[in-house]
Amino acid sequence: MSNLPSLELLIEQFRRLPSVGRKSAERMAYSILDYSEEEAMLFANAITEAKQNIKRCKVCHNFSEDEICPVCADEERNRSVICVVEDARDIISLEKVKSFNGVYHVIGGTISPMNGVTPDDLNIKSLMHRIHNEGTEEIIIATNPTVEGETTALYISRLIKPLGIKVSRLAYGMPVGGELDHADEVTLMRALEGRNEL
Amino acid sequence: MSNLPSLELLIEQFRRLPSVGRKSAERMAYSILDYSEEEAMLFANAITEAKQNIKRCKVCHNFSEDEICPVCADEERNRSVICVVEDARDIISLEKVKSFNGVYHVIGGTISPMNGVTPDDLNIKSLMHRIHNEGTEEIIIATNPTVEGETTALYISRLIKPLGIKVSRLAYGMPVGGELDHADEVTLMRALEGRNEL
């Protein structure tokens, strides 16, 4: 193997990708050797171009190829409701549902003293700036249901509630189509706590 | 999503890789967005350079960055024993075992009338040429234990045996239906040691 340094380098690059082990990385690298030079060039260009073209929206920090992302640029969206998410890829998941017509704000992580992430490291200042300037009526906090996500949700909610703005949190409970039998204890506890009257 | 054509293109490229589905391809593409421009460039270059630098050995059709692969160029290897494999990546698996000191010949596939692959499509002529010119004493056929692999082994054996050369086949230490690429090193070593004369 060490006799093919170019292949070794390529395998290393594939190994850096999420959930790719040595064996998978090897198979991926070999598959590139079966590509035509043109196909390999297309792949290489896709990587550099995605990196060069995709920036962050100046308003909400969503992925965007323009200064302002398509959600923020859309005149039809309700600017008075902002959904706060940890990561830009969460927006893509939420947009697939097609049931939210407000706008988003990507804070870029969660407060985590263990990892040295303080509120100042997140896009919270720009969120407060938007709230003060855009006539926001409701903030939906959609951080993940983890310890850090909950801490961050609580922090943001305490910051915003005194301004008289409605703050809500995504509902957590049984996944639709799931079975009680398979639900973990925390999920079940949340489902019980958040029960609705019929 | 359709609002990020560069990202869509990159996801498509990742999906072409072996065993990568839509969800994995998305995760891989997003991870590139977290790379620095330099890191993305390194990855892109690794792809084009592997494709450009890695050629086929003029003697045995192994992967090589030079005209002659390191195995064929190695003076210590026993040139009188040639191990015949389907694919160049099989050589990498066999070399890991470190128990074979002969040389290789990559035929580049298997005889498969169903897929229109005839002996003329494989590197069998160049194998015969080597046998006639290199003083070969033994041929170890290490095609995969599949129907096509067996057919190919039989075909080659029938071609070579009349020349009075010893022809052997890897032992079935490997699970039938499996591929060399996936076999663990011990299994491969057993298969080498227990090879049978055809």
Residues B119-135 have pLDDT tens digits of 999 999 999 999 999 88
Q: Which parts of chain A register pLDDT below 50?
A: 1-2
pLDDT at B191: 72
Q: Between these two residues, B3 and B85, which has the higher pLDDT value?
A: B85
Q: What is the pLDDT of residues A123-139, one digit of tens each?
A: 999 999 999 999 899 99
φ and ψ at B8, to 5 degrees?
-60, -45
Average of per-residue pLDDT values in chain A: 90
Looking at chain B from residue 104 to 163, which residues have their Cβ under 8 Å from any Cβ of chain A?
none
Check CB contact of A186 with chain B, cutoff 8 Å. no
Q: Domains of chain A, with CATH numbers?
A: 5-53 (1.10.8.420), 76-197 (3.40.1360.10)
Contact A130, A82 (CB under 8 A): yes
Strand B166-169: give its sheet, edge to edge. Answer: B103-106, B81-85, B138-141, B166-169, B196-197
| Nearest Cβ partner for A40 among B4, B18, B47 | B47
Mode of pairing for the β-strands spanning B138-141 and B103-106: unpaired
pLDDT at A95: 86
The gap from C-alpha A73 to its chain's centroid, in whole angstroms, comes to 19
CA distance A110 to chain B (A): 16
Three-class SS of residue B167? Answer: strand
Q: What is the pLDDT of residues B22-59, one digit of tens each?
A: 999 999 999 999 999 999 999 999 999 999 999 999 99
Looking at chain A from residue 67 to 106, which residues have their Cβ under 8 Å from any Cβ of chain B?
69-70, 89, 92, 95
Report yes or no for ipTM above 0.95. Answer: no
Check CB contact of B50 with chain A, cutoff 8 Å. yes
Check CB contact of A1 with chain B, cutoff 8 Å. yes
pTM (2 decimals)?
0.75
Contact B63, A4 (CB under 8 A): yes
Q: What is the pLDDT of residues A29-56, one digit of tens each?
A: 999 998 999 999 999 999 999 999 999 9
Q: Do B49 and A9 touch (CB under 8 A)?
A: yes
Separation between Cα atoms, residue B128 and residue A174, nearest integer Å: 67
Question: Among the residues of chain B, which ranges form H helices?
Answer: 5-15, 22-33, 37-53, 70-73, 88-97, 125-133, 147-160, 185-193
Which residues on chain A are in Cβ contact (under 8 Å) with B65? 3-6
pLDDT at A25: 96
Q: List beta partners, residue A167.
A: A139
